[in-house]
């Protein structure tokens, strides 16, 4: 059975070069970077090197703008809570309806505390309306937080332009770039982005390590106070091995940036074209012309995502779904709802996300099994007419629960 | 992914009785494409014996929805309609060696489709009384709608009250923040404010109980407490009834889903605890099946599990 991993937006395999770079910091060099004996020899230096490797990948002006955190979620929380704490008179937050829960659940909670949250809607292709955005900017807004790239569809938001608009209105700008960093080039020093979140495990570094980029001069209040680590901006003894690993992963990401945007993209393109050509009633979601090179999210109408995943898994293929059932909630993904994807399709979306470890033969394998998986489930579906191999005429009418 | 039992996987990968039955004379349709779960159950019922001779399903839904539908058709084939109606969602889940709490609604859908199909055969109208909200307590599979209704109906004020009435919050306690949010919301609508340090309501009632009760009052009171558990049990496809009180032992009849399931001992313990709080005396709750035989008069049905 093949062993194909196409769920790289969920997490990635740690590159073996990264693992090798980390090992000494568990064994010989396990010392606390703040110590001054030989077990800590070189640990502080290794962290400094990692900091400059991250700096280079995102094009930050200073290495002191890189703050290591425990994950993408911590970076997101730190950014937003810092902005509201530093500007207690500003009671509004602008974000989008399609952010990761790391943002959405946080702002939901702030709403209960009295903040006004503007969750900008998106159109059917997942795009924002910048005129509407402009109208929301005011001196009441503490922070704008808009993701660089969407984790489900890969759709890229114009964050560089939006940061400039925020800056012109005197408003702080944060971007959750967890899915973008390492996949598309960026040069933060040429932008007005004030804060940016990174998560190591999305770019072949370990889980449980993140970064908050904090532009020099941006007003800031730490989430964790305590020791002097990270210049007092994020207390807690450094996760040295993971920091070193993340540094190495950033270096590798720079080396593979072109490969990601040419070869990896070619695999993605071939897969999605192959699927929509072979399978009726399937379509790609998101902004097709403006996406991460590695991500495709395909909706299969009249069947449910988790069932598709179970059959894919049986065929040795790992992917993920925006269906309600995979998360245990009753609603399909908030991203699909925000894009107004019809319910007949929203429950059957599958995300395939590639990395440099995939190959064209993986694509062939998926294309080989996908049509029969979809056909199997459609055969079971009350909304599908197996004899004519098409949806039943007017599915919402044909299926009439007796109590409706 | 979910920790599905081998039985769930088997019924998903090799579904039994998929597709519509030819010449079906009972059809039940529940769910909708917007909720991500829909099931059409088609039955062929022998018009003389009312035995289900054939059953087929068509399901739009996740792995456990398909598995629940498949196992349901296997369970009910060969049963009379009356016997089939006694199949609860817990039976469906048990036949699959259990479902994750988030997926229990898939078994509920199976039971509802069956009820709808029987109603369709008998020319009756089937009413869905089952409103489902977001899952709040994963330990006991209790959703927001159920908690809200109980908070309204019983004027609950604390997380402890909610746990006593619904079981929600009685396990790992991770859902207490969400339960507090529901309390805050409902109490605000009632014109009260939620106070996290308030005493649970039973304690207040217990103190008010000063005069000794007559025997009749006492039994009535016990029955009242037991009745207050019914909505919650009925939502799970079960029921409870007071059969007899002998000394300080209350004998109850647990039917449907509750009898035999691992929840039943928890439920009995919950009833007992509340009885003791309300009555301010020691009361033991025992299944009627354990009542001394000479008094075994009032038991109609001790469940079928
Ligand atoms: C867009 C986005 N933001 C934040 C996160 C959370 O990152 P972490 O898992 O490191 O907390 C993720 C990962 O799931 C993500 O995709
Ligand atoms: S989730 Fe409610 S007690 Fe565990």
Using the predicted structure, report yes or no on whether residue B59 has a pLDDT greater than 90: yes
Q: What is the CATH number of the domain that holds A193?
A: 3.40.640.10
Question: Would you state the pLDDT for residue A357?
Answer: 97
Residues of chain B above pLDDT 70, percent: 85
What's the token pair of residue B242?
């007071």
C-alpha to C-alpha distances, B150 to B145, B146, B200, nearest whole angstrom:
9, 6, 14
What crossing angle do the helices spanning B63-76 and B104-121 adopt, rounded to 10°? 40
Q: Is B138 in the pocket of ligand 2 (CB under 6 A)?
A: yes
- Tell me if A304 sits within 8 A of A323, measured CB to CB: yes
pLDDT digits over B122-136, tens only? Answer: 998 877 655 667 889
Binary contact (A380, B116; C-beta < 8 A): no
Question: CA B33, CA A222: separation in Å to the nearest integer?
Answer: 46
Question: Would you state the pLDDT for residue B300?
Answer: 37
Question: Would you state the pLDDT for residue B295?
Answer: 40
Question: Would you state the pLDDT for residue B131?
Answer: 63
Task: With respect to residue A248, please indicate whether it lies within any of the assigned structural domains.
Answer: yes
Domain ends where: A208, A236, A253? A253
Question: Would you state the pLDDT for residue B257?
Answer: 55
**What is the CATH topology of the domain spanning B205-304?**
GMP Synthetase; Chain A, domain 3 (3.30.300)
Backbone CA torsion sign across A329, A331, A336, A338: negative
Question: Would you state the pLDDT for residue B143?
Answer: 87
pLDDT digits over B274-299, tens only? Answer: 787 777 677 778 877 777 654 443 33
Chain mean position to CA B249: 25
Query: What is the maximum span of chain B, computed from C-alpha positions, in angstroms?
Result: 67
Same domain (yes/no): A224, A300: no
pLDDT band at B302 (very low <50, low <70, confident <90, very high): very low
Question: Which of A311, A344, A402 faces B120 most closely, judged by CB atoms?
Answer: A402
Domain ends where: A253, A281, A303? A253
Strands A295-300 and A317-318: unpaired
State the ligand closest to the CA atom of A10.
Answer: 1
Question: CA A9, CA A151: separation in Å to the nearest integer?
Answer: 6
Domain ends where: A193, A228, A253? A253
Would you call A399 an interface residue with chain B, using a CB distance cutoff of 8 Å? yes
Strands A195-199 and A4-5: unpaired
Question: CA B284, CA B290: separation in Å to the nearest integer?
Answer: 12
Same domain (yes/no): A207, A228: yes
Same domain (yes/no): A211, A98: yes
Residues of chain B above pLDDT 90, percent: 40
Question: CA A332, CA B62: separation in Å to the nearest integer?
Answer: 12
Same domain (yes/no): A227, A272: no
CATH architecture of B135-201: Orthogonal Bundle (1.10)
Question: Would you state the pLDDT for residue A399?
Answer: 65
Same domain (yes/no): A312, A236: no
Same domain (yes/no): A63, A104: yes
Strand ranges (E), A74-233: 92-96, 116-120, 141-145, 172-176, 195-199, 210-214
**What is the CATH topology of the domain spanning B6-121?**
Sufe protein. Chain: A (3.90.1010)
Nearest chain B Cα distance for residue A247, angstroms: 31
Using the predicted structure, report yes or no on whether residue B206 has a pLDDT greater than 60: no
Q: Residue with structure tokens 């005011």?
A: A138
CB half-sphere exposure, A17, CA atoms < 13 A: 11
CB atoms within 10 A of CB B205: 13
Q: How many domains does chain A have?
A: 2
Give residue A12 CA to ligand 1 midpoint distance, Å.
12
Binary contact (B63, A343; C-beta < 8 A): no
Task: With respect to residue A169, please indicate whether it lies within any of the assigned structural domains.
Answer: yes
String of DSSP letters for A378-404? HHH-TTEETTTTEEPSSHHHHS--TT-
Spans of chain A, pLDDT less than 70: 323-331, 395-404
Mean pLDDT of chain B: 82
Nearest chain A Cα distance for residue B65, angstroms: 9
Q: Is A199 in the pocket of ligand 1 (CB under 6 A)?
A: yes
Same domain (yes/no): A385, A334: yes
- Which one of B6, B18, B21, B33 would you mutate to disrupt binding with A, by most A Cβ within 10 Å of its Cβ? B33
String of DSSP letters for A81-102? HHHHHH-TT--EEEEETT--HH
Q: Is B102 in the pocket of ligand 2 (CB under 6 A)?
A: no
Domain of A225 in residue numbering reads as 16-253
Same domain (yes/no): A161, A219: yes
Question: Would you state the pLDDT for residue A377?
Answer: 95
CB half-sphere exposure, A309, CA atoms < 13 A: 28
Same domain (yes/no): A335, A307: yes
Would you call A300 an interface residue with chain B, using a CB distance cutoff of 8 Å? no
Mean pLDDT of chain A: 94
Same domain (yes/no): A234, A344: no
Using the predicted structure, report yes or no on whether residue B173 has a pLDDT greater than 80: yes
| Domain assignments of chain B as residue spans, ordered by start | 6-121, 135-201, 205-304
Give residue A147 CA to ligand 1 midpoint distance, Å.
11
Question: Would you state the pLDDT for residue A225?
Answer: 96
Residues of A in contact with B103 (CB under 8 A): 325, 328
User: Which residues are within 8 A (CB) of A346 and not within 5 positions of it... i.e. 6 or more apart?
Assistant: A299, A322, A323, A332, A333, A336, A337
Secondary structure (H, E, C), A353-370: ECCCCCCHHHHHHHHHHH
Question: Would you state the pLDDT for residue B76?
Answer: 95
Same domain (yes/no): A90, A144: yes
Q: Which of A145-149, B89-93, B174-178 has the lowest mean pLDDT?
A: B89-93
Same domain (yes/no): A106, A207: yes
Question: CA B136, CA A301: separation in Å to the nearest integer?
Answer: 30
DSSP at B124: P
Task: With respect to residue A403, please indicate whether it lies within any of the assigned structural domains.
Answer: no
pLDDT digits over A34-68, tens only? Answer: 888 888 879 999 999 999 999 999 999 999 999 99
pLDDT band at B205 (very low <50, low <70, confident <90, very high): very low
């Amino acid at each position: 059975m093949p062993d194909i991993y196409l769920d790289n937006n969920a997490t990635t395999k740690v590159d073996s070069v990264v693992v090798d770079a980390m090992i000494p910091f568990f064994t010989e060099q396990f010392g606390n970077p703040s110590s001054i004996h030989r077990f800590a020899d070189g640990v502080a230096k290794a962290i400094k090197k990692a900091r400059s490797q991250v700096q280079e990948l995102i094009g930050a002006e200073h290495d002191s703008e890189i703050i290591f955190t425990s994950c993408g979620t911590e970076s997101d929380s730190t950014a937003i809570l810092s902005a509201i704490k530093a500007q207690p008179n500003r009671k509004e937050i602008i974000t989008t309806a399609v952010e990761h829960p790391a943002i959405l659940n946080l702002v939901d909670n702030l709403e209960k505390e009295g903040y006004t949250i503007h969750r900008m809607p998106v159109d059917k292709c997942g795009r924002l309306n910048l005129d509407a955005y402009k109208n929301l900017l005011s001196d009441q807004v503490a922070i704008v937080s808009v993701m660089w790239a969407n984790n489900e569809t890969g759709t890229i938001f114009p964050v560089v332009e939006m940061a400039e608009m925020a800056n012109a209105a005197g408003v702080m700008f944060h971007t959750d770039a967890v899915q973008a960093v390492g996949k598309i080039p960026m040069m933060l020093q040429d932008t007005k982005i004030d804060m940016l979140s990174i998560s190591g495990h999305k770019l072949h570094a370990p889980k449980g390590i993140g970064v908050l980029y904090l532009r020099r001069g941006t007003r800031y209040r730490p989430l964790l106070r305590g020791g002097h680590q990270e210049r007092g901006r994020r207390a807690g003894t450094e996760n040295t091995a993971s920091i070193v690993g993340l540094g190495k992963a950033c270096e590798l990401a720079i080396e593979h940036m072109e490969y990601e945007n040419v070869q990896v993209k070619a695999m993605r393109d071939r897969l999605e074209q192959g699927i929509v050509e072979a399978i009726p009633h399937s379509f790609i979601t998101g902004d097709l012309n403006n996406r991460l090179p590695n991500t495709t999210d395909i909706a299969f109408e009249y069947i449910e995502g988790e069932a598709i995943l179970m059959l894919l898994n049986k065929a040795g293929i790992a992917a993920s779904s925006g269906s309600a059932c995979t998360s245990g909630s009753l609603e399909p993904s908030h991203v699909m709802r925000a894009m107004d994807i019809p319910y007949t399709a929203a429950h059957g979306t599958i995300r395939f996300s590639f990395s440099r470890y995939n190959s064209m033969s993986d694509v062939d394998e998926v294309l080989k099994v996908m049509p029969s998986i979809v056909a199997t489930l459609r055969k079971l579906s009350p909304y599908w007419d197996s004899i004519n191999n098409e949806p039943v005429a007017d599915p919402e009418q044909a299926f009439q629960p007796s109590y409706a | 992914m979910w920790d599905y039992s081998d039985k769930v996987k088997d019924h998903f990968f090799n579904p039994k009785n998929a597709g519509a039955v030819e010449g079906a004379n009972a059809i039940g349709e529940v769910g909708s494409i917007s909720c991500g779960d829909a099931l059409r159950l088609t039955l062929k019922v022998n018009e003389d014996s009312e035995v289900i001779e054939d059953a087929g399903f068509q399901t739009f839904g996740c792995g456990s929805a398909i598995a629940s539908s498949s196992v349901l058709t296997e369970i009910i084939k060969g049963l009379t309609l009356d016997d089939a109606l006694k199949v609860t969602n817990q039976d469906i889940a048990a036949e699959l060696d259990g479902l994750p709490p988030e997926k229990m609604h898939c078994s509920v859908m199976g039971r509802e489709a069956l009820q709808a199909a029987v109603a369709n055969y008998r020319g009756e109208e089937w009413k869905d009384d089952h409103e489902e909200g977001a899952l709040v307590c994963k330990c006991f599979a209790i959703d927001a709608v159920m908690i809200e209704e109980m908070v309204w109906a019983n004027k609950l004020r604390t997380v402890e009250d909610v746990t006593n009435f619904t079981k929600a919050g009685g396990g790992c306690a991770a859902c207490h923040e969400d339960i507090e949010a529901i309390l805050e919301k409902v109490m605000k609508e009632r014109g009260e404010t939620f106070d996290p340090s308030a005493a649970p309501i039973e304690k207040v009632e217990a103190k008010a109980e000063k005069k000794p009760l007559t025997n009749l009052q006492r039994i009535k009171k016990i029955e009242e407490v037991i009745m207050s558990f019914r909505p919650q049990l009925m939502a799970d496809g079960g029921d409870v009834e007071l059969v007899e009180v002998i000394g300080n032992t209350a004998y109850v009849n647990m039917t449907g889903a509750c009898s035999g399931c691992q929840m039943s001992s928890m439920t009995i313990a919950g009833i007992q605890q509340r009885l003791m709080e309300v009555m301010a005396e020691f009361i033991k709750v025992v299944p009627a099946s354990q009542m001394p035989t000479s008094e075994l008069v009032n038991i109609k049905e001790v469940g079928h599990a």
